[in-house]
Amino acid sequence: MKVFISSVTGGMEGYRAAARQAAEALGHTVTAAEDFRASPQSPQQVCLGAVRDADVVVLLLGARYGAPQESGISPTHEEYREARGTKPVLAFVQKGVTREPEQERFVEEVSTWESSYREFFDSPESLRAAVTRALHDWELSQQAGPVNEDELVARTAGLLPTRSAHAAGVAPLHVVVAGAPAQQLLRPGALDDAGLRRDMQREAVYGDHPVFDPQQGVQEPVVHGTTLLITQADAQITLDEQGNIRVSRPARNASRAAPRMGGLTSLVEEEVREHVADGIRYAGWLLNRVDPTNRLRRMGLACRLAGIGYLPWRTRAEVAQSPNSASLGSGAETADSPPVVLARAALLFDTARLADDITVRLRRQARRRHRRRGRPRRLHRGPPARRPRRSRHPAGTPPPAPSAAARRPPR
């Protein structure tokens, strides 16, 4: 296996040597900037080419950021971004140093993207041990074999529920994530772990992007077969032993705390997009919680929106412009965003783009079905006005004179 060591060179010589020793002791081939001889290519091109050629990048982050290049970022930062999303980046952050402001921001960026790979060191010896452990764990994660993308797509699609019981006006949104290569990620006892259950509930209700309604209680977690279920009245999270995840919740903000937009109850596009993004972020967080060594390195992502026949699909601007009129269908139809295969880190780094793409697919299907089957319906805020009674006599013909009995006054 080829390992590329990335860091500033000045002041980090001892640490770079320790990282090299750790990788070579495990039988890996190491490449680093100091190995390259004179070349017609620029040092930047040579190093970025070596990053592309490597299997794993070991990133060492100390106090110094390095001199910005024409790109506006340092060579180490360029190497990191070249590797990010295409191969594992094992990041090691030095403790007990005062980092330059640019380096502090760089460390924060790395922590956001590859949070499960970040470790700390304070000496060459501790770094050598940390690199040895991280490379060994990564090697173990590869033993499940290559990724079968056809199998991953089929398994992801199979996680989407075929039936979804719900009340009228509640459109369930299901975000599913499956990992590859296929393997048993969790032992049976892991699903009974009280710490895991507590963390899943806390993140679902009180996390930065909650997927549960904080005004509702959470039922006692249960295990059905090989799947852990954490449930609310209208929402549910499932996690099985393979690491497959499903986040189900209403697609619209039905809580009392949600802003009331008035008029017809609708699927509001912006709310759907936010709920899709929150489901993806939760799945990414949960994967890092149960698979810190990234044994699952490729992901399948899909989404299903049920009950679209009962609710019109509109944007907030459309609701504001015409709150009481929209095209409605008449059945509990579904809209799907089919499975896509992506790098695991994209769940947390490219969440907004993924949610945008999924929302566009759902919107097209919802509006196409409403145009095909729906009728414009108007919300009336009072009793309907009475129609004038139609005359049975032709226009221009006076009605006949009343009979004598009709003219007789009442007794």
Secondary structure of 258-290 in the HEC alphabet?
CCCCCCCCCEEHHHHHHHHHHHHHHHHHHHHHH
Q: What is the pLDDT of residues 124-144, one digit of tens each?
A: 999 999 999 999 878 877 776
Radius of gyration of the chain (CA): 30
Q: What is the pLDDT of residue 379?
A: 47
Tell me the per-residue pLDDT of 369-400, one tens digit each, with 9 for 90 and over.
Answer: 655 554 445 444 445 555 555 555 555 555 56
- What domains can you pick out in the chain, each with its CATH number? 2-144 (3.40.50.10140), 149-378 (no CATH)
pLDDT tens, position by position, 57-97: 999 999 999 999 999 999 999 999 999 878 889 999 999 99
Amino acid in the structure at residue 37: R
φ and ψ at residue 80, rounded to 5 degrees:
-65, -45
Q: Are 39 and 46 in contact (CB under 8 A)?
A: yes
pLDDT tier for residue 164 given thresholds of 50, 70 and 90 = low
This prediction's pTM: 0.66
pLDDT digits (tens, 9 = 90+) for 232-286: 988 999 999 999 999 999 998 765 334 444 567 788 999 999 999 999 999 999 9
CA separation for the pair 342, 339 (Å, rounded): 10
pLDDT for 393 equals: 52
Q: Which of 37-41, 300-304, 402-406 is modeled with the greatest confidence?
A: 300-304
Strands 313-314 and 267-268: parallel
C-beta atoms surrounding 362 within 10 Å: 26
Q: Which of 216-220, 231-235, 304-308, 320-324 has the lowest mean pLDDT?
A: 320-324
